[in-house]
A and B are shown apart, each in its own frame.
Chain A
Amino acid sequence: MSSKLIYAVYDDPDVTVKAGQTVTDAGIKVNTVYSPFPVHGIDDAIKLPRTRISVAAFLFGAMGTSFAAWMTWYMLIYDWPMNVGGKPSFSFAENFPSFVPVMFELTILLGAHGMIWTFFFISGILPGAKNKNPDPRTTDDKFIIEIDPSKQAQKEDEIIGMLKDAGAIEINRGE
């Protein structure tokens, strides 16, 4: 079926959340909601699963810590031990306090950048990527609920009626 997507336009975040809640409660699957700023409560309203992106931050951070621990051990303990200023490099444990700052910094460095780039890649936001918001006003002051009518049990008119009753100021159609 080649039915077009429904774009219900709202002009208030709270009305949008209520509308999203109403249609989701009726068993309609909302594709997504476009908004100019993070709308609190929309995730629950349209049953969006929680993001696990902080797991990426933890893994990258742990990678940073272990890399720094290996690097300081390899360079100053194993490969070329030096006695600098009475701080002998005989074992990693003895020299450990001096390595803490570098281990900390590399944890943050890898954790932060790893998380940022994970976010960019999985969200498809990269230099040169095309934006997918159906209406330029969604980055200004409008909120759009996107629904694919072909995938719902309800009839198109019924869905549109529900969205309008929930306060939509416009209903647009698009690919």
Chain B
Amino acid sequence: MLVFTRKRDDAIVIGDGIEVRVVRIGRDSVRLGITAPAHIAVHRREVYDAICRANRAAASDPTVLDRLAARLRGAVLPGPSRS
């Protein structure tokens, strides 16, 4: 892992068009500003990981989905009248 020492308002550049800037330094946290091209997704690690775990737990064998749907059908609201 590359490790840099940066002061407030300092930045690092990653590849073509990604910049990470130190916006504010607190006692236990730093605030970072990230500039990236629109096609580059930027996520908080713990949020992304939580969604990874939820997705892995939700992945199902497609052959059992009819049965699962039948079991859960009573738990959902009627279809919205708006389109």
A, B co-complexed: no
Which residues from chain A sit less than 8 Å from chain B, CB to CB?
none
